[in-house]
Amino acid sequence: MSFLTKHKVLITAGPTHEPIDPVRFIGNRSSGKMAYAIAEVFAEAGAVVVLVSGPVQLQANHPNIQVVPVETAAQMYDACHQYYSSCQIAVLAAAVADYTVANPADKKIKKQGDNLTLELVQTKDILMSLGQVKSNEQVLIGFALETNDAIANAKKKLLAKNLDFIVLNTLQDEGAGFRHDTNKISIINKYNKITNFELKDKRLVAQDILNYLEEYLREMKVV
């Protein structure tokens, strides 16, 4: 029997789309492939998965996966807080927008003049907010995609958001990051231990994360 059998796991996936008007939005290049692979691997290991997913062109096929579709960062925040208290593990792999449009137009903005100025406001930090309410019986895992000073930035995020460990990748590694079917990660835990992995298919990366989690829980005697 897997260590995850009947455990409830919250996973976030994909981008968020922050509306400018009814036909335009601010988004990013996240495909959701990494998070969906994690959801499938965890479900196959016996977990009951709640997958809070931004807009992606993917489907979850395992019966143990409940998909909760959202579009905006605010909707993802609300969904995560709805389900988190009943989960033993959370893996926040979504690429959530840091900013949203302050006042989206209710009608399509027509082209006029040479410039268009949008006022942006910060979105709520989902990962930090979950870290603030995390119990000693819960494990919280974050993701960091960096373009520079990757290890230092990931460590700051790990500490600031009260994570158990963080999965780091960087756009400097060829074949890693958004849209690829492969990824290359490092995992940093809250004791500053860094474990590096080779470039591989995202499903195999998901299995590495599962194996790391099992070892982490065995050492910590958590969950």
Residues annotated as catalytic are 28
**From residue 18, how far is each of 72, 85, 105, 146, 202 by CA, in Å?**
6, 26, 12, 21, 27
CB 28 within 8 A of CB 113: no
Is 161 exposed, middle or buried, given 0-12, 13-18 or 19+ CB atoms closer than 10 A? Answer: buried
CB atoms within 10 A of CB 132: 10
Which two structure tokens, joined as six digits, stand for 108?
């399509």
Contact 167, 187 (CB under 8 A): yes
